[in-house]
């Protein structure tokens, strides 16, 4: 794989992470979409993540700068999620086990699922396996329990039905 292709992949991954964070901020901070997008693109927010490190007996957190992101992909994803949020919430709810309610999920998990579902339905030029793996990896970054497995199963189910239906 060429260095250029590898950089483009990393930039898209960074855009997905930022889109999840921006979606969360828009939803829970009740902030204007365009302002949040602008703040991320200008580097005012979302430039760092906290990584937990354990070496021996000591646990510590370290701020790590995120690499450059594909700003147009980030903006398109974040706007798209916001514009189609109601539709995607209904779509996700349709695939949940009986008794589960999307509204009761953790805010980060909701944001992650909204971004992933948007991509599965609207970015047909990106392979399904790539999208699912990217968001499962993000789920592992945010959660330590069963959420990543649930994300994988749910996105797989959504992808099978939406991509087969020609959406």
Chain segment 26-72, per-residue pLDDT in tens? 998 888 999 999 988 887 665 555 555 555 566 665 545 566 889 99
pLDDT of residue 167: 44
Q: What is the mean pLDDT of residues 95-106?
A: 86
φ/ψ bin of 86: left (φ > 0), alpha (ψ from -120 to 50), beta (otherwise): alpha
Chain segment 69-96, per-residue pLDDT in tens? 899 999 999 999 999 999 999 989 988 8
Residue 106 scores a pLDDT above 50: yes
Question: In the chain, where are the structural domains located?
Answer: 3-164
Chain segment 129-146, per-residue pLDDT in tens? 999 999 999 999 889 888
**pTM here?**
0.84
pLDDT of residue 140: 92
pLDDT of residue 63: 46
As a whole number of angstroms, the distance between CA 117 and CA 85 comes to 10
pLDDT of residue 124: 87
Q: Of 167, 132, 134, give the one whose Cα is nearest residue 153.
A: 132
Any bridge partners for residue 52, and if so which?
61
pLDDT of residue 83: 96
As a whole number of angstroms, the distance between CA 146 and CA 35 comes to 34
Q: Which CATH architecture has domain 3-164?
A: Orthogonal Bundle (1.10)
Q: What is the DSSP letter of 104?
A: G
């Amino acid at each position: 794989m060429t260095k250029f292709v590898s950089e483009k992949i990393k930039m898209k991954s960074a855009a997905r992470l930022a889109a999840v964070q921006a979606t969360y901020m828009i939803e829970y901070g009740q902030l204007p979409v365009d302002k949040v997008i602008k703040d991320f693109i200008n580097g005012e927010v979302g430039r760092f993540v906290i990584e937990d490190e354990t070496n021996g007996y000591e646990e510590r957190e370290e701020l790590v700068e995120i690499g450059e992101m594909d700003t147009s992909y980030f903006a398109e994803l974040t706007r798209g999620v916001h514009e189609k949020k109601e539709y995607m919430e209904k779509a996700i709810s349709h695939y949940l086990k009986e008794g589960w309610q999307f509204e009761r999920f953790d805010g980060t998990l909701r944001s992650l699922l909204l971004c992933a579902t948007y991509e599965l339905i609207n970015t047909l030029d990106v392979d399904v396996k790539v999208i699912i793996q990217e968001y499962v990896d993000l789920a592992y970054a945010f959660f330590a329990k069963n959420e990543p497995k649930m994300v994988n199963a749910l996105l797989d189910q959504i992808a099978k039905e939406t991509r087969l239906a020609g959406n």
